[in-house]
Structures are given as structure tokens and as C-alpha cells.
Structure 1
């Protein structure tokens, strides 16, 4: 890991002792740079990010992306990729392996990334809410942001910052899961047949509580559904393509690929449910109520009251206008 503070005061050097970048909250370890982001920064969260990375590779047919990524990286001699909210750094490392001539930079709130990485991959600590992000204008060919909107207090502002950082013609790839789960029979639902989970299910109660807590943190929980709108409203992007779809949760799909996706998403949620316990407690919810809420949601995850448990994911890519 090569981290320095030469860009600005928002980027920090991490030596052998990284304890100053973490804090403890209700038995879990969290980043110490941004207290708005509500998910832990510990080994369970690293494991969850590994599951999510594997799942997305199945969704993308074995790749790390969709859209004209290779075309965007054919520009110029020095190609640069930025991974916003890199987490455990798995996407950045995979991209560095696939594109050895590109410089790949991952930024995050906590030094969770491995130290032994490809030579063209570096990680830096940075609070993305502290704009400007410390890189020059028109610096990157590709910017990627995945599953991170729950830590961003002003997502349209971040979109405008992405536009500043991208070179003309550069590509942005945004991926965000919806915070509204669903269930729909035994058949995998199409977007037109999507229906909310029963309002009185424990699963739905958990997600409603999570959304309410995020709202109290100043987070817009409807961001995933508005990604394309944000890009359009910025006036900086063209060729905006949205490819949203449904992700199965659990072991019910008959298709072997969807079954694998469902298993990975199920394991992701199995770790996610206890990960939000500190958030619930820190916002004043009673410990017994929180523990019951999570236990009941786990029961619905292990033994779904209806068939077809799923979630929706929004995937949008766009190019920065050239003129």
C-alpha cells in the first residue's frame, strides 16, 4: 500500500500502525475519518466485500464491469482508473491485473486493503464527502463507484466531482443496490412484475428501520433509483445507459448461474444484518428491540415466509462530454 499526504489534507499516510484510523462502536471496528458511513471496517466486512465482488463477477459474466471500459482505456499513453470507496480493494486489484498498463488508484475511509498488490495498484485514505477529491482535473479515464451511496451525504455533488476528475470522453460506472427488497413467487421476477415485500414481514421491518436510520444520518436512500437522473442533471455526461435488474437472494433459482448469484447474495446478507447493529444502537434504538429485529430478519433469511426473495441493483455507465 502506497499512501501519502502530498495531494491534500484529506489524504493520509498509513504506516505499520494503523490504529489511529479505526474506532470501536458497540463491539465492531469502524473507520475514524467519517462517522456518517455506518458499516464496519473489520474482517467480517472484508469477507462480505469478497462475497459481493464474486457475485458481481457472475452478474457481469465473469468480468469486473459492463459498458465500453476497454474503449475508455485506449485513450492516451498513461491510463488511470479510480475506484471510489474501494473497501477491501478487490475490484481495484482485479482491474490492475487485467489492465497492467493502467494506473489503478483505490480510495477509502479505512486501510482495509492488502499490502501486497500489483505494482500498478495503490490505495489511499480519503473521505469522499470532503470535496474536492484531491486529484487534478481531467485526470482519470475510468471512475468506478459501487455500493457506497449509504456513506455519501450529497450524491449529486459527488457526480459533479466525478465529472471534474474524468477526462473528456472518460467513463463513469456506478453500481448501487436498492434498499427496498422484494419477494415474488417461485419464478424469478421481471422488472414489470416487481412487488414490495409484505409490510408486516420481519425482513421488510428490518429494511424499513435501516432506511429510517440512514435518513437520520442525512443519506438519500433513493439514490440507486436516481443514478441516471443525477448524471443527466449534471449536464456533463452523454451516452447514459442504465441496466438495472433483479438479484435473487437464497437457494430458490433453478438456473445454475442465478443459483450461484443467489447463494452469494444470501451469504452477503447473512453478514450484513449484524453489521448494522451498531448503527441502530448508536441512534438510540433499544438493545432488545435491535437484537429482536436482527434475529427475526435472520429467521426470514434462513426460512423465507414466501418464495422468491430478491433485491434490485442499478447499474449505470456514461461518458463525460467531449465538447
Structure 2
């Protein structure tokens, strides 16, 4: 290995250690979440919760026999690895700011350290499917990312984006849905994204419009509910609620500790006190909380295909420039 390659490899693993957690080194500060073992365990919970949401499907877009798949923000690579097993003849690429993916991956997958918010360096029209999941609060310019996905998809390829809402149904006027801590948390995180970091946590509200504005056609939006706690009577929702409770209980420290200490100036002790009290609220069976998640996908039109109004153009004379 050359000296330059060793230097590059060491620079992306020269992690930031802060408040007992570990964070990515490449493009330091771009992502608020840790990349340590605790966060890897949390990602397993979230992956399972998405599988429950989609009825054990890895995607909803009508893709068939893809050759090239890109997973943007792959994290530990769980989704990408499952896709590599599901499509053994496809080449899967998973990108992330951290090289913390599982090492025992199938032979048809590779992981790359990259920042999806920068210009993508793949050739145009490379991928049959581009997948993004759970990057709310991490992207400063979502329309640009959508344009990059459009540019690098083959004509007829699909882009699928899945996100969660920070807002819950916590309502101070409803005893079954009331807790001041929940509303304060949602408001503080939304305000941080809007006014301090420039990376919105309201992504879920705009995914369909981003998709249409980028030029995608056959755009579909699917909305789901994640209960927080096993309070629903429906057996499937009750099971999801158990995992939804774990999602919040296991995830809350990683969600807030960097944002609250770096941006709001909280101390470590203040964050830990908040996390402890917040977990009590989550586990309180009197609270019937839920929040929304959405899956939006769209197809890149073929050359010459007529595009309905609202897309990039009325007729595509070829692959549109982005």
C-alpha cells in the first residue's frame, strides 16, 4: 500500500472521541450521530423496525434484476448486505462517512468512504437503484442530493428515500398523548435543524416534492406509523411498538448528545439527566405516542419519454443534465 493510501486510510479512522462516544473523522461534524459499537447495536434495531414496517421487504420500488445498486449513508451496511444476498448477481456499493461496516459481507458488495452531500464521482447513468434511509438532519441541500441521484441513475432506474418524523403526536391537551418533555424535544431538534445547523429535520414533509422537482416520474409515497411502546391493540402494531420503544430508548442519547453539547452548550451531565428522564417517559405505559415514517420512490424517465407537468421537463430528449 502506498504512503498516500496509508495516510488517507488513517485520516478517516482518526475518529473524534467526545463525551464517551466516538464520531466519524472524514468531514468531521457532518453527521450528528456516533459511529461506535453502541450506535451499531442501535442500527440493528432500526433495520428490524423498517423490515416490520415494509412487511419484511427491503424496498417498495418495482425494481427487477438490477445490475448496480447504491446505498447512500449505509451505516453499518445491514441493508446493503441484505440486498447483496437478495440480488447475488448485482453489484452493491454502500457509502458512508465512516468505514464501520460489517467485515463479513457477501462478495458482490463493497463499501466506500464518501460524502453524499458532495458531487458524486460515479459515471452518469451508473445505477439501477439508489437507496437512502434515515439521513434527516444530515443533509444541507436535499434538492442537490436528489439531482445527483437522478443524474447517476440509468434511465428507468429507481430512487427510493425513507425517513422518519421527529414530530410525535404528543399533545399537551390530551392526557393519553401529553408530555412536555416530548414536545420540548421535538421543538428543540426542529429548531436546531432550521436555525443552527442548516440541516433540516423536516425532510419527511418534502420528499415527494423533491422527487418531482428532480424530474422523477411514477412517484409514489407510502406513509406508515411507528408506535412508541406496545400500547396498540393490533398485534402487528403492538410488535412494532415494542421495537419503536427500543428505537427511542436506545437511540435518544446518540441523537442529542453531540447536538445539545456542541450547539446548545449543554454539559455532559445535563444531557445524561435529560436522557434518563426521557427514557422514563418512553417506558411509561400511560403514554400512547407514535410518529410517522414515509417511503417515497420515483423512476428516472427514458429518453424521449413524455414527463407530466411538475417534473423536470415536459419531454425528455435524452438524459437531462443536472
TM-score band by shorter chain is 0.7 to 0.9
TM-score by length of 2: 0.84
Aligned to 1:188: none
Contact residue 85 and residue 107 of structure 1 kept, 8 A: yes
1:294 corresponds, among 275, 282, 292, to 275
Aligned to 1:164: 151
* Counterpart mapping for 1:254-273 below 5 A: 254-273=233-252
Contact residue 203 and residue 301 of structure 1 kept, 8 A: no
Aligned to 2:24: 31
Aligned to 1:232: 212
Is 2:21 aligned against 1:42? Answer: no
| Greater Cα offset, 61-70 or 42-51 | 61-70
Aligned to 1:204: 183
Report the secondary structure of 1:151's partner residue. Answer: coil
* Counterpart mapping for 1:272-287 below 5 A: 272-275=251-254, 276-287=256-267
Aligned to 1:22: 15
Could you tell me how far 1:207 is from its partner in structure 2?
2.2
Aligned to 2:114: 126
Report the secondary structure of 1:180's partner residue. Answer: strand
The C-alpha deviation readout for 1:152-187, integer Å capped at 9, x for no partner, is 110110000000110111001100101111148xxx
Contact residue 239 and residue 318 of structure 1 kept, 8 A: yes
Contact residue 197 and residue 204 of structure 1 kept, 8 A: no
Could you tell me how far 1:304 is from its partner in structure 2?
5.0
CA distance in 2, matches of 1:229, 1:179: 19
1:145 corresponds, among 112, 132, 136, to 132
CA distance in 2, matches of 1:13, 1:114: 20
* Counterpart mapping for 1:168-179 below 5 A: 168-179=155-166
| Greater Cα offset, 271-280 or 86-95 | 271-280
Could you tell me how far 1:293 is from its partner in structure 2?
2.8
Could you tell me how far 1:256 is from its partner in structure 2?
2.3
| Greater Cα offset, 90-99 or 23-32 | 23-32
Is 2:54 aligned against 1:60? Answer: yes
Could you tell me how far 1:305 is from its partner in structure 2?
4.9
**CA 1:183 to 1:69, structure 2 compared with 1: closer, same or farther past 3 Å?**
farther
Report the secondary structure of 1:240's partner residue. Answer: strand
Aligned length: 291
Is 2:69 aligned against 1:81? Answer: yes
Contact residue 11 and residue 25 of structure 2 kept, 8 A: no
TM-score by length of 1: 0.84
Report the secondary structure of 1:239's partner residue. Answer: strand
Structure number with the bigger relative contact order (C-alpha 8 A, sep ≥ 6) is 1
Is 2:97 aligned against 1:109? Answer: yes
Which consecutive unaligned segments of at least 5 residues does structure 2 have?
Answer: 304-322
Which consecutive unaligned segments of at least 5 residues does structure 1 have?
Answer: 7-11, 185-195
1:315 corresponds, among 295, 298, 303, to 295
1:220 corresponds, among 200, 205, 219, to 200
Q: Over aligned residues, Cα RMSD in angstroms?
A: 2.2
